[in-house]
Structure 1
Amino acid sequence: MTVFIDPPLWPAHGTLWSHLVSDTSIDELHRFARAAGLPSRSFDLDHYDVPAREQDRLVAAGAVAVSANELTRRLIASGLRIRAKDR
């Protein structure tokens, strides 16, 4: 069971955002997010959008920090990736 977080690189709403994903299951991702107190509205089909201010706290809670490319590779390899054109 591993949950991954990439660096906060995506600007929106006055901050930078990270993505939080699981390489095992969406249920695992939801459990981690609930335990970490992330709002359900942060979920976007295959990941949670996470503001930069939450990065260190989520890593301390057990998320593994990886590059954006590594996060994408792991999500695709898990079979959990939902592409924009599939929405």
Structure 2
Amino acid sequence: MLLIDRPIFYRDGRRFAHLISDVSLEELHQGARRLGLDRSFHRDHYDIPEDYVSAVIESGVHQVDPRDIVRALRRAGLRSAVPRG
């Protein structure tokens, strides 16, 4: 399942949310393509600009608390499986 948190991460004067899969990176990339995302992938998530979050949620992505993002990645083995750097 694809999950998104609230846009609380600041970069370049904008707020971003994190889009993840709690299943696989393949599911995440497929969902990102479906949503028209072709950039902003970072190790285990996509950064989603605040002004696009509502459209992502309307497409069926489930919104969760930001603390649940890392938990879901760890449960799926995606946080530790993806090398840093």
TM-score by length of 2: 0.91
Where do 4+ consecutive residues of structure 1 move more than 4 Å? none
Gaps of 5+ in 2: none
Give the number of equivalent residue pairs.
Answer: 85
The 8 Å contact of residues 46 and 82 in structure 1, kept in 2 or not, is answered as no
CA RMSD of aligned residues (A): 1.8
- Is 1:55 the counterpart of 2:58 in the alignment? no
- Is 1:65 the counterpart of 2:63 in the alignment? yes
Structure 2 distance, partners of 1:32, 1:61, is: 10
Higher strand share: 2
Partner of 2:73: 75
Which of 77, 83, 86 does residue 84 from structure 2 map onto? 86
Partner of 1:33: 32
Gaps of 5+ in 1: none
The 8 Å contact of residues 16 and 48 in structure 2, kept in 1 or not, is answered as yes
